[in-house]
Amino acid sequence: MTTLPAPGRGLSGDARSLDDLAARLTDRFGDVTTDLAHGELTVHVAPEQLVAVLTFCRDDEELGCELLADLSGVHWPAGDHVVDRQPSTTGWPEYRIARDEGVIEVLYILRSVSRNHWLRISVGTPDDEPRLPSVTGVYETANFHEREVYDFFGVVFDGHPDLTRILMPDDWLGHPHRKDYPLGGVDIPYKHEKFIPPPDERDLREVVD
Amino acid sequence: MAIDPHASPSSRTDPTLAAMKAGFDDDLFVEGADWETVVDAVEDETLTVNMGPQHPSTHGVLRLVLELDGETVTHLRPIVGYLHTGIEKNAEFRTWVQGTTFFTRMDYLAPLFNEAAFSLGVEKLLGIEVPERAQAVRVILMEFNRIASHLVWLATGGMELGSTTVMEFGFREREHILDLFESQSGLRMNHAYIRPGGIAQDTTDDFEARCEALLTLLTERLYDYEDLLTKNPIWNHRLRDVGHITAERCYALGVTGPLLRAAGVPWDLRKAEPYCGYEQYDFEVPTETAGDCYARFLVRLEEMRQSMRIIRQALDTLPGGPVMVADKRIAWPSQQSLGTDGIGNDPAYIRHIMGESMEALINHFKLVTQGFTVPAGQVYSPVESPRGELGYAITSAGTNKPYRVHVREPSFVNLQAANEMTRDHLVADVIVVVASLDPVMGGVDR
């Protein structure tokens, strides 16, 4: 990055309106779609455009997003997805999501300190073989974030310098934030007087295939 | 041959060792010998040392793998996850209000910021406006929390440099602030006091008097820290020109908060994107240009002063009125006040639901167990926590529980800068740098 915002400019309030930002991105990349909700701008891009869009957001004079503030994943599984345990008052949540194919949505929050605005980039990848280009070449801070998304959702970021688990143990099986990750597979000790193996001796391979 | 009992064990003299070694590659074994011969034997002279996960200066369970050339650090790799408790996953199985009791436990030195950021996000999704009094109380308590957090940073940072006096000072004053929190929420830490829609219960009658007394005390005591440390030669020698980072590198590494301000950028979300009515208060964003550990110390010290300025103004203009939204689909119908047992009570209401109206009891039961539903959508709600931008990326699928909550934790992100800040520094400086990053492992690992 060559330009450093002058101290104080972030507070001067010369912010662009979100409509202007959306127009700027759609002008440059014809096939991105934008939506405004809750006063937040979301830009939906295709995986192959991702690095180009983020580079543009960082280097463009109008957008000027110096910071990648956040990077997170959301899993939207396929089918009329209802988790079918205790859909009553407490306990398992009840979602009604009808989708043809399962998607892992990865969200990038880009923030401009010099212009004082932020926008969200949303990119989807199929959940059976999630794979996205790494943006560590554009924003170094994506390193930890992408490791976290890999750890929790299994998204493989091509070009990441060191894609390993970060919060879960190295030998953990499965990606626990996916909605299809098996939960409740371990018996509750006070039921049926069964012997429950200690956590490090449980075989998760039966439930995570 | 007689075996010399004082000689280092060696396979040349020890038959047991020789037997162990048989059949293995020689490189796998290091036997007792002079350091020079050991060093000569390996081409790469750097030494890999594990610092932590249990080390008094790592603020919890942080493991730092250091590559050392002599006593100089050439590479530092932070390894995290030892405190991972799956709070984000847990929250997907709890109602929106119950979520606050989980998130407050992440960054345990700044619990109110976690509650506030989450609540602000839920309120954004619900499209509700929180009453003014609730906002002002949030601001007062959050700023006290910022001071408490910085005091722990000062206390632990000082102790790691050998200054037990600073440790005593920091924790002593922090305890007074925690007493205030306890008097209002019932708990010293992990309050779950700020909730979607407002705050759990109104403040006690002596709230303002307590705050005033605390402000007087802290104003006086802050001078003590300044007198003790600012010109202290040891403090200066240890902190100045250590752990340098520029504003450009802060941007690239996503570093925010006091670290970015110490590098010269007056970036503060309270000014940039005011929430909870911060735009009404007059305060400054302290900056330094040096970008080293000493600059961060000065920034944090001044931030405590500015926080007191905000509290003073908020106390002077503290409005009356409700502390929870009027919408009965969100707020509990009881008007609780804190009892002597530290639990919120509302005797009149309890009499009503237990003795007079079955419907009111059912309504209350449903609201507490089932909670309210939040319209589907995605929001990102950032606040300026003592460590930088604390953001909650919340996804709702239109149910009574979050579909996914991701937390942008400043400690987690800032830790990436540790490698760069310690390069070519001595091992002793690693401790100073990690202290100046002020990571809270509960927040890093979530």
- Give Cα B216 to chain centroid, integer Å: 26
Q: Is residue B20 domain-resident?
A: no
Give the model's pLDDT for residue A200: 63
B283 and B319 share a domain?
Answer: yes
Q: Is residue B167 domain-resident?
A: yes
Determine the 3-state secondary structure of A165 from DSSP: coil
d(CA B429, CA B39): 25
Give the model's pLDDT for residue A89: 42
Give the model's pLDDT for residue B412: 92
Give the model's pLDDT for residue A93: 55
Give the model's pLDDT for residue B407: 93
Q: Which residue of B has its CA nearest to A74?
A: B404
Q: Domain count of chain B?
A: 2
Residue B129 in contact with partner chain A when CB distance is under 8 A: no
B318 and B169 share a domain?
Answer: yes
Residue B389 in contact with partner chain A when CB distance is under 8 A: yes
B contact test, residue of A1, A66, A170, A171 with most B CBs within 10 A? A66
For residue B309, what are its two tokens?
A: 């300025």
Q: What is the distance in angstroms between the Cα of B76 and the nearest Cα belonging to chain A?
A: 14
Q: Which residues of A touch B124 (CB under 8 A)?
A: 38-39
- Which domain, by its residues, includes B276? 87-325+374-445
| CB contact (8 A) between residue A69 and residue B369 | no
B347 and B244 share a domain?
Answer: no
Q: Name which of B92, B273, B370 is nearest A89 (Cβ-Cβ).
A: B370
Q: Name which of A4, A94, A145 is nearest B399 (Cβ-Cβ).
A: A94
Give the model's pLDDT for residue A184: 58
CATH 3.20.20.70 is right for the domain spanning A18-182 = no
B contact test, residue of A55, A81, A167 with most B CBs within 10 A? A167
Q: What is the distance in angstroms between the Cα of A28 and the nearest Cα belonging to chain B?
A: 24
Chain B residues 232-271 with a CB less than 8 Å from chain A: 247-248, 251-256, 264-268, 271
In sequence order, which residues have a C-beta less than 8 Å from that of residue A47 and are 6 or more positions away?
A: A123, A124, A125, A131, A132, A133
B245 and B349 share a domain?
Answer: no
Higher-confidence position of A81 and B376: B376
Contact assessment for residue B202 and residue B185, using Cβ atoms and an 8 Å cutoff: no
Give the model's pLDDT for residue A8: 38
Taking alpha carbons only, the member of B69, B90, B138 closest to residue B422 is B69
Q: What is the distance in angstroms between the Cα of B406 and the nearest Cα belonging to chain A?
A: 6
Q: Could you tell me if the ipTM is greater than 0.95? A: no
pLDDT per residue, tens digit, chain B (446 aa), is 455 555 555 555 667 767 766 766 666 555 666 666 666 656 667 788 888 787 777 677 888 888 888 888 888 999 998 889 889 988 888 889 888 999 999 988 999 999 999 999 999 998 888 999 999 999 999 999 999 999 999 998 888 888 888 888 889 999 999 999 988 888 888 888 999 988 888 888 889 999 999 999 999 888 888 888 888 888 898 888 888 899 889 999 999 999 999 998 888 888 888 888 888 898 988 988 888 899 999 999 999 999 999 999 999 999 988 888 888 888 877 777 766 666 667 778 788 888 888 887 888 888 888 888 888 889 999 999 999 999 999 998 888 888 899 999 999 999 999 999 998 888 888 988 988 888 888 889 88
- The enclosing domain of B193 has a CATH number of 1.10.645.10
Q: Is residue B63 domain-resident?
A: no
Give the model's pLDDT for residue A133: 93
B320 and B343 share a domain?
Answer: no
Rounded (5°) CA angle B88-B139-B111: 30
B252 and B201 share a domain?
Answer: yes
SS3 string, chain B, reads: CCCCCCCCCCCCCCHHHHHHHCCCCHHHCCCCCCHHHHHHHCCCCCEEEEECCECHHHCCECEEEEEEECCEEEEEEEECCCCCCCHHHHHCCCCHHHHHHHHCCCCCCCHHHHHHHHHHHHHHHHCCCCCHHHHHHHHHHHHHHHHHHHHHHHHHHHHHCCCHHHHHHHHHHHHHHHHHHHHHHCCCCCCCCEECCEECCCCCCCHHHHHHHHHHHHHHHHHHHHHHHHCCHHHHHHHCCCCCCCHHHHHHHCCCCHHHHHCCCCCCHHHHCCCCCHHHCCCCCCCCCCCCHHHHHHHHHHHHHHHHHHHHHHHHCCCCCCCECCCCCCCCCCCCEECCCCCEECHHHHHHHHHHCHHHHHHHHHHHHCCCCCCCEEEEEEEEECCEEEEEEEEECCCCCEEEEEEECHHHHHHHHHHHHHCCCEHHHHHHHHHHHCCCHHHHHC
Banded pLDDT at A85 (limits 50, 70, 90): very low
Q: Which residues of B touch A7 (CB under 8 A)?
A: 264-266, 287
Chain B residues 407-446 with a CB less than 8 Å from chain A: 408, 412-413, 415-416, 445-446
Q: Name which of B271, B380, B416 is nearest A11 (Cβ-Cβ).
A: B271
B213 and B356 share a domain?
Answer: no
Contact assessment for residue B333 and residue B360, using Cβ atoms and an 8 Å cutoff: yes
B295 and B388 share a domain?
Answer: yes
Q: Is residue B16 domain-resident?
A: no
Q: How many CB pairs under 8 A join A and B?
A: 130
Taking alpha carbons only, the member of A18, A20, A121, A110 closest to residue A66 is A110
For residue A184, what are its two tokens?
A: 């409740």
| CB contact (8 A) between residue A69 and residue B408 | yes
Q: Name which of B264, B377, B403 is nearest A95 (Cβ-Cβ).
A: B403
Looking from the CA of B127 toward its CB, the CA atoms found within 13 Å total 6
Determine the 3-state secondary structure of A145 from DSSP: helix
The residue assigned the tokens 């020890």 is B14
Q: Which residues of A touch B291 (CB under 8 A)?
A: none
Q: Which residue of B has its CA nearest to A3?
A: B248
Q: Is residue B68 domain-resident?
A: no
Maximal C-alpha separation, chain B? 99
A contact test, residue of B404, B405, B421, B446 with most A CBs within 10 A? B404
B300 and B414 share a domain?
Answer: yes
Give the model's pLDDT for residue A88: 44
| Model pTM score | 0.84
Read off the pLDDT of each residue in A73-83 and give the average, rounded to a whole number: 74
Q: Is the dihedral of CA B101, B107, B110, B115 positive or negative?
A: negative
Question: Could you count the other beta carbons within 10 Å of the beta carbon of residue B58?
Answer: 22
B264 and B299 share a domain?
Answer: yes
